[in-house]
Amino acid sequence: AKQAAAQFEADASRKEMRKQVKMTLRRNITAVSAVWSGIKATTNRVLEFMQINCQDDASKEYVEFAFADILAGQAMPQVKPWPLAQVACRVFEHYPRAQEILTGLLCHKSPAVLSDFRNQPDLSSEAFDEYVNTTVARLRFLQAIAVTQGELGVVWHWMSRTVNQPPQPLAVVLLHATLESVGADAQARYKKQFDKLIAHLDAVFLVSALELSSRLVGKVEHAHVRARLHQLCTWVSDFKKTGKAEPPPGRHITVAHEAALLGLSIQTS
């Protein structure tokens, strides 16, 4: 896909078209709102624009790549994944290849989203912070897409594979992020299996993770692991008390909530 996009980029006769594609898609994708009316409006604008600009195979390949590439760039800590996932999934229904490209881009940049924690980069403290936060954002975005599409198997496979291997620093961070973001969805789908996974996490993974944390004292990973391990232990403790994984803020937008938001915007505009 990258090679085809590069060839298209080299075509001087398509320069203006490329400029419009990038500008229009980026403007719409970066302006997604967290209300259903905004999500639907953005989706319709993107689909209409993509249809107009996918007049031949080469153009379609480029537009799909551009859409996926811009989406990948939006998988950042400051961007809420759920509204963006809603738009992305509706576009993927018409352009499934764009989803394949997006997944490939994010997995290439952050193999940990596939629960592959080998060969993590040796970074300074500041660079490691950025790397961890970006990886968390990429994983949450891919998981939000999976949940939106009803493909909970993707989430389940990641969680089960992660808790059944010796904990790595990034695994501790991402496991807490996953449970916080999509734990409620996983519990709703897998029920008793989810309970067993959390029991294993509590009895085995956390014990090993605590040992890992003590070995990391003085290393750049220690601060992240210590903080997320504390949060992970708190999450498990709360789950054991209530038996329920809570969805994160902003996970669900009801019609009433949307109406309230729209009413507020009208009053303050």
Which tens digits make up the pLDDT trace of 191-214? 999 999 999 999 999 999 999 999
Mean pLDDT score, 104-115: 91
Query: In this structure, what token pair is assigned to residue 209?
Result: 């993770």
Residue 175 to residue 109: CA distance in whole angstroms: 18
Residue 223 to residue 216: CA distance in whole angstroms: 9
Give backbone dihedrals phi and psi of 127, rounded to 5 degrees, phi first.
-65, -35
Residue 80 to residue 223: CA distance in whole angstroms: 25
Query: In this structure, what token pair is assigned to residue 160?
Result: 């089960």
Mean pLDDT score, 152-157: 95
Please, what is the average pLDDT of the chain? Answer: 88
Residue 128 to residue 24: CA distance in whole angstroms: 33
- pTM check: above 0.85: yes
Mean pLDDT score, 148-176: 94
How far is CA 64 from each of CA 80, 90, 161, 223, 248, rounded to the nearest angstrom? 22, 14, 31, 39, 31
Which residue reads 């996918």 in tokens?
54
Model confidence at 145: pLDDT above 60: yes
Which residues are CB-contacts of 98 (< 8 A; sequence separation ≥ 6)? 64, 65, 67, 68, 71, 91, 92
Mean pLDDT score, 168-191: 95
Task: Express as a percent the part of the chain with pLDDT over 90.
Answer: 67
Residue 248 to residue 180: CA distance in whole angstroms: 6
User: What was the pLDDT predicted at 249?
Assistant: 80
Query: In this structure, what token pair is assigned to residue 3?
Result: 């090679």
Model confidence at 44: pLDDT above 80: yes
* Residue 159 neighbours by CB distance under 10 Å: 24
Model confidence at 158: pLDDT above 90: yes
Model confidence at 261: pLDDT above 50: no
Model confidence at 20: pLDDT above 70: yes
* Residue 100 neighbours by CB distance under 10 Å: 14
Instruction: Give the residue with greater pLDDT, 77 vs 267.
Output: 77
Model confidence at 83: pLDDT above 50: yes
User: What was the pLDDT predicted at 4?
Assistant: 67
